[in-house]
Amino acid sequence: MSLLSYLINGISLGSVYAIIALGYTMVYGIARMLNFAHGDVIMVGGYAALTVMLNYSANPLVAVPVAIVVCTVLGIVIERIAYRPLRAAASPLAVLITAIGVSYLLQNVVLLIFGPNPKSFQSVVPFPDLKLADGALNISAETIVTIVSCIVIMIALTTFINKTKAGQAMLAVSEDKGAAQLMGINVNGTIALTFAIGSGLAAVAGVLLCSSYPSLSPYTGSMPGIKAFVAAVFGGIGSIPGAMIGGIVLGVIEILSKAYISSQLADAIVFAVLIVVLLVKPTGLLGRKIQEKV
């Protein structure tokens, strides 16, 4: 029964990683850049929700849409101010350094506003825990909501990409920006929409993460952001199903490593598994090779 409990907790943690990884994989798949500030958008979403709950005595469920709106606007602003001017002429290294700079900027702004001390976070899940097998197996409400949210987001995002005009524009931009522009697609607007969706998902992930692990600090998003990036690479960066699979596998590996090997070595084991996978399949589990014409 304990193994089943660990697996469920691993899937729950992996679902958070998967939601974050979707933001990474969408931005990379369409804009061909790595937004390393994405992890800190998670933290901003957590603080936005916490501020609404503490200062306005709002229902926790009301705080979630506010966090999504704040992070969505933040994602659009970051793309417009920090990344768009560099997209045409700057090298990928310059864009990467800018992303790291934005990450530190967000951390320090939050540090100045809220201080360095961790804040206690109230769960936004109003449901009771689920007890099975006469109480031998206890599944927290946060775990259930996190897993269900991941599945719903995955289905909704896949449907959006494949069935809507905006989604088709994203696919066109990911294939060839120049050709997409010639066909009348607003490339800048499409990339901005991608950042908006990814940042909105980061807000959801931040609220779910803080509900399951009720502590929030300016550095809360750093390690989950890195692990979500690992999950995206693990599943095949640029692949939406790959991001989900990579996140869940990573979460299960982490929880089982903490339970049966060592909590101190769990992160090292996660990264070691990534190295092994990339040695065997460099494109990730569901990644595909991109042939470049020369």
Mean pLDDT by 10 residues, the chain (294 residues): 84 92 86 85 93 79 89 94 83 86 94 91 79 74 90 91 90 86 88 92 92 89 88 84 89 91 87 85 72 47
The angle subtended at Cα 73 by Cα 108 and Cα 183, nearest 5°, is 125
Residue 120, classed as helix, strand or coil, is: strand
Residue whose C-alpha is closest to residue 42's, from 277, 261, 213? 213
Residue whose C-alpha is closest to residue 255's, from 281, 227, 229? 227
CA distance linking residue 196 with residue 42, whole number of Å: 13
> What pLDDT sits at residue 128?
75
Residue whose C-alpha is closest to residue 235's, from 253, 219, 261, 221? 253
Residue whose C-alpha is closest to residue 105's, from 82, 84, 88, 87? 82
Distances (CA, A) of 51 to 24, 60, 66, 72, 269: 26, 11, 10, 17, 36
**Inter-axis angle of helices 2-31 and 240-260, nearest 10:** 140
- DSSP per position, 280-291: H-TT-SS----P
The angle subtended at Cα 33 by Cα 31 and Cα 37, nearest 5°, is 115
- What string of H, E and C letters represents the secondary structure of 165-228? HHHHHHHHHHHCHHHHHHCCCCHHHHHHHHHHHHHHHHHHHHHHHHHHCCEECCCCCHHHHHHH
Residue 277 makes CB contacts below 8 A (sequence gap 6+) with: 234, 284, 285
Q: What is the pTM of this model?
A: 0.89
